[in-house]
Amino acid sequence: MGIDIIIQNQIHERIGLVYGDAEDTLVKYRWNAPAGSILRGLHAHADTMFNTTQLTMLLDELENLSPNNDKEAEMLVVLRDSAETAIRRNGYLWFSGD
Q: Model-level pTM?
A: 0.89
State the burial class of residue 89 (Cβ atoms within 10 Å of its Cβ: 0-12, 13-18, 19+).
Answer: middle
Q: Check whether 1 has a pLDDT greater than 70.
A: no
Q: Which strand (E) or helix (H) includes residue 95? A: strand 92-96
Residue 28 backbone phi and psi in degrees, to 5: -65, -40
Question: Could you tell me the residue ranges of all domains in the chain?
Answer: 4-96
d(CA 72, CA 26): 8
pLDDT of residue 65: 86
Output the CATH code of domain 4-96: 3.40.1760
For 73-86, how does the pLDDT look when each residue is reduced to its tens digit (9 = 90+)?
A: 988 999 999 999 99
Mean of pLDDT values over 9-35: 83
Q: Give the pairing of strands 47-50 and 14-20.
A: unpaired
d(CA 35, CA 28): 14
